[in-house]
Amino acid sequence: MSLALAPLDVSVEVEANLPCRKFDPDLWFSDSPAELELAKSLCGDCPLRVECLAGAVERAEPWGVWGGEIFERGAVVPRKRPRGRPRKEDLARDAQLRVEAEARLAASGLSESRSAVRLAA
């Protein structure tokens, strides 16, 4: 028995221009912050981005890039920080990125399901 993922938008072919199908899947689950940012940027033009993000929110994905957002421990994070203590300017940038991530979730219509998605502090 094989399972196939059918897109919600019937005008989109399953394999057509989906970055997660064209590039190495490990990129979306990398430990490297730079690689996760690359995966996020590749999701930008994906025709299934909103559906992918909604599915990840519904499933409370534990990690990875889904719909152009980074999930870590089931929460949307604005960016993955490298190991070690963050610099003060990184903390300020994280606060700004958190606001931008909230705006993207709201634009995707997922802010109503705020109880299902939490943004990591």
Annotated binding site: 20, 43, 46, 52
By CB neighbour count within 10 A (0-12 exposed, 13-18 middle, 19+ buried), where does 7 fall? Answer: middle
**Binding annotation for [4Fe-4S] cluster:** 20, 43, 46, 52
> What is the token pair recorded at 76?
């949307």
Which amino acid is it at 100? E
Look at residue 65 and give its three-state secondary structure: strand
Helix (H), strand (E) at residue 75: strand 75-77
